[in-house]
Structure 1
Amino acid sequence: MRQLWTFGIEQAKSCVFAVVIFSALAITQVMDVSFMSRYDLILLICLVTQVLMLVTKLETWDELKVICVFHLIGLALEIYKVHMGSWSYPEQAWSKVFGVPLYSGFMYASVASYLCQAWRRLDVNLVKWPPTWAVAALSAAIYFNFFTHHYIYDFRWLLKAATILLFFKTIVYFRVNYKQYRMPMVIAFVLISFFIWIAENIATFFGAWQYPGQEVEWQLVHFGKISSWLLLVIVSFLIVAMLKHLKEKRE
């Protein structure tokens, strides 16, 4: 139980950025913020949080660089998906670009923040990591499939099968109170995506964005969305892992 408690505390510390975003969504939903548009206020909160995390050393400069990459990747995906009608941001704001508020990129960045911090706090180590070129190719294929499946065949199930084959032997080692544990990489992908799906339900409940069918009354996000989050988690994890691997080689 002591090990489980410590593991939970370290996970909670790694989720600080995500917790701030969800708290901002909840507070601005129930409070009157007429002095500023809701989306603009959430963006301001995200920026201030990012600065504070750097000042207090909850986050390192290297982790910030990774988070900025994810912000841009996520924002590009959001603009495209909103344009295609996959979901919408109905409220007005000065910080909206092509119908997408800039704070939305921080929601993707919060996933990267969690991965980077959990990696550092739990002393994560990957064993039997596949060739970097194969990992990069899979990451690119998954990301571009989010765009291309609107026009051509959706390859998500093939990409999932490729992920299982590529990472079938990869093991994640992590440390809690100086004791090391292990978990298959594929199971780690599934667990993270499931908890992000739970977070997505919380986010849509507080009006972070709306799926078709949620405009009049909120309803549970379809369970099949875990499939999409699984692919996004894979891309996120692979990018973070590749960047850390390249940094270790340089050092």
Structure 2
Amino acid sequence: MGMITHGIRQLLRFGLLEARCCAFAVALVGGIAVSGQLPDLPVARYDLLLLYGIALAVIARKLGWDSARDTAVIACCHLVGLLFELVKVRMGSWTYPEEALTKIGGVPLYGGFMYAAVGSYLCRAWHLFDLRLTGYRPRVMAVLAAAVYVNFFSHHWLPDARWVLAALLLCATAGTWVRFRVGERDHRMPLALAFVLIGFFLWVAENIATYAGAWSYPDQLTGWQPVSVAKFGAWALLITVTFVLTAGSAGRSLPGSRAVARNRS
């Protein structure tokens, strides 16, 4: 009975920590959903969401949720995401149908916050779960993450190499473990499994975001449809880009590196 009680306690602790890690993303998606229900305003919705995203980032910094280095990583994720959006929207992969002043090449500047939210999640997880990596290959992972990022552009003109890259990532992460702390107990999981789990929850979040009108895929322009399950796999691959950026900051990519902050922070 004691083991069951302890297991439930650990699960509740884990859930609470995950909720804290997702605070930025939940607030962002929540704001997108609320903005879709607002009456007509003199400010375009996408422009309003840009101001809202900036306000969230400032609040997170002021509250101490993010360090200066975390904020830099999140800003980098925002820029990387914007470049991704500019290419994909130009190729017709999805659209932002509403008008806005802060819209470049069909992409509102707030769009980068969707990727910034993923960066915020990883930065917070590193602190709150006291993440450590063992058997991590930073240079190999950096090369593969860059190849994954480029492939999401180049597959419009060249053969799609995502399955080859997925296989290479499985090889590169073989023997790589993510160690994390919940309460006073350490746990671990394979890095590849972490990518799959994060990819799944990002796919769920994408369904919620598109339903709230954050952007629209071609088959959603005449009415919302669930996002293709294929996007789940795409997110599981694309998360490697954000992970490499986050792990590389402050020497976090070193095997056995330990974040200073603990669960109680």
Higher relative contact order, chain-length normalized (CA < 8 Å, sep 6+):
2
Confirm or deny that 1:226 pairs with 2:227: no
Q: Conserved in 2, the CA contact under 8 Å of 1:196 and 1:229?
A: yes
1:10-39 deviation digits (Å, cap 9, x = unpaired): 111111111111111111111214131110
The reply to whether residue 13 of structure 1 matches residue 20 of structure 2 is yes
Asked if 1 retains the 8 angstrom alpha-carbon contact of 2:133 and 2:176, the reply is: yes
- Please identify runs of 4+ aligned residues in structure 1 that moved more than 4 A: 246-249
Per-residue CA shift, 1:27-85, capped at 9, x if unaligned? Answer: 11112141311101111111111111111111111100001111110000000000000
Tell me which of 185, 195, 202 is aligned to 2:201.
Answer: 195
Alignment pair present for 1:42 and 2:65: no
- Partner secondary structure for residue 246 of structure 2: helix
**Per-residue CA distance 1:176-203 (angstroms, 9 max, x = gap):** 1110001011111100000000000000
Tell me which residue corresponds to 1:206.
Answer: 212
For 1:134 and 1:170, locate their aligned partners in 2 and report how far apart those are by CA, in whole Å: 12
2:184 pairs with one of 178, 188, 205: 178
1:123 is aligned to: 130
Q: CA 1:247–1:161 in structure 2 vs 1: closer, same or farther (change >3 Å)?
A: closer
What's the counterpart of residue 142 of structure 2? Answer: 136
Tell me, yes or no, if the aligned pair for 2:94 and 2:218 is still in contact at 8 Å: yes
Q: State yes or no: 1:146 paired with 2:152.
A: yes
For 1:185 and 1:140, the matched residues in 2 are separated by: 18
CA contact (8 A) 1:160 1:231 kept: yes
* RMSD value, Cα: 1.5
Aligned residues: 249
* TM-superposed deviation, 1:242: 2.1
8 Å CA contact 1:139, 1:239 repeated in 2: no
Q: Secondary structure at 2:235's aligned position in 1?
A: helix
1:164 maps to: 170
* Maintained 8 Å contact 1:126/1:172: yes
SS in 2 for 1:173: strand
TM-score normalised by the chain length of structure 2: 0.91
Structure 1: any 5+ residue segments left out of the alignment? none
Structure-1-length-normalised TM-score: 0.96
1:87 aligned residue (74, 90, 94): 94
Identity of aligned residues (%): 44
Q: Supply the distance in 2 between the matched residues of 1:110 and 1:128 (Cα, whole angstroms).
A: 27
* 2:243 paired with 1:237: yes
Could you tell me which amino acid in structure 2 is paired with residue 13 of structure 1?
R
Gaps (5+ residues) in structure 2? 1-7, 258-265
